[in-house]
Amino acid sequence: ETGVTQTPRHLVMGMTNKKSLKCEQHLGHNAMYWYKQSAKKPLELMFVYNFKEQTENNSVPSRFSPECPNSSHLFLHLHTLQPEDSALYLCASSQDRRQGWNTGELFFGEGSRLTVL
Amino acid sequence: AQTVTQSQPEMSVQEAETVTLSCTYDTSESDYYLFWYKQPPSRQMILVIRQEAYKQQNATENRFSVNFQKAAKSFSLKISDSQLGDAAMYFCAYSSPLKAAGNKLTFGGGTRVLVKP
């Protein structure tokens, strides 16, 4: 298994749909992240989880609902999205800084390309 | 808040030649990490090189090297002997090790590198 896997790779949904993005990491990390990558904008941090607890919510609208059932899995539940939410959603993982040696970097998945019609 | 700026939206280089990508950042912290990530068409962000701010020596990884100027808050990436596989988006990123949990990276807007055969 590759380090960080995301499913689905592509998702098209209407504004009234409910869907979920899934992320799984096989690196033994205990911190997981959601980033949003829109065209012509820098990557935006959305959420951070450390040991299943949410430690960062970067003023993300409530139509995005994260879930972290364990340190290896992270979900992003989507409902009543807007067309401007169309973007590449990247999941990443890392060691938590409080748990010893940490190189400071994130390990990314390949992203889920979301299109909201 | 930290900010990262990449002033070159796109750079073109001839195969086997050298290209340098610019990055500047703004921070009031004295200890931090800097990174260059590569994002090829497959979309997965891959770490190219890492620099710890307390280290004066510039990091190198095979054909990739950085010019870290701490006082100027500048962190450029040099790609030597460019290969077709180097064509990608390159992102400069900043991370502070002072934060208690996780690695919250702040990214620049990216530079697209085109390699001409």
Task: Please answer whether residues A86 and A14 qualify as being in contact, where contact means their C-beta atoms are separated by less than 8 angstroms.
Answer: no
Upper half-sphere CA count for residue A104 (Cβ side, 13 Å): 21
CB within 8 Å: B103 and A97:
yes
Residue B46 forms contact with A (CB below 8 Å): yes
The C-alpha R_g of chain B, in whole angstroms, comes to 14
What are the pLDDT digits (tens) for A13-47?
Answer: 988 889 999 999 999 988 999 999 998 788 999 99
Residues in A touching B91 (Cβ below 8 Å): 43
Q: In the prediction, which pLDDT does B5 show? A: 96
On the question of pLDDT at B98 being above 60, the answer is: no
C-beta of residue A116 within 8 angstroms of C-beta of residue A63: no
Phi and psi for A97 in degrees, rounded to 5? -60, -25
The C-alpha of B80 sits at a distance from chain A's nearest C-alpha, in angstroms, of 23
Distance in angstroms (rounded) separating the CA atoms of residues B67 and B76: 5
pLDDT in tens, B34-83: 999 999 988 899 999 999 998 889 999 999 999 999 999 999 999 999 99
Which of B26, B50, B105 best probes binding to A when mutated, by most A CB atoms within 10 angstroms? B105
> What confidence category does residue B101 fall into, taking pLDDT thresholds of 50, 70 and 90?
low
The 10s digit of each residue's pLDDT in B10-20 is 999 999 999 99
Label residue B102 by pLDDT band (50, 70, 90).
low
CB B48 within 8 A of CB B63: no
Is the CB of A96 less than 8 angstroms away from the CB of B101?
Answer: yes
Instruction: Mark yes or no for CB contact A102/B97 under 8 Å.
Output: yes
Give residue B100's pLDDT band: very low, low, confident or very high (50, 70, 90).
low
Q: Which residue has the tokens 């998702």?
A: A11
Tell me, what DSSP letter sits at residue A97? G
d(Cα B89, Cα A109) in Å, to the nearest integer? 16
Edge to edge, what strands does the sheet with A18-25 contain? A4-7, A18-25, A73-79, A64-70
User: At a CB cut-off of 8 Å and minimum separation 6, what does B100 contact?
Assistant: A97, A98
Give the position of tokens 């990247």.
A90
Is 70 exceeded by the pLDDT of residue B99?
no
Question: What local confidence, expressed as pLDDT, does residue B96 receive?
Answer: 77
pLDDT tens digits, A67-86:
999 999 999 999 999 999 99
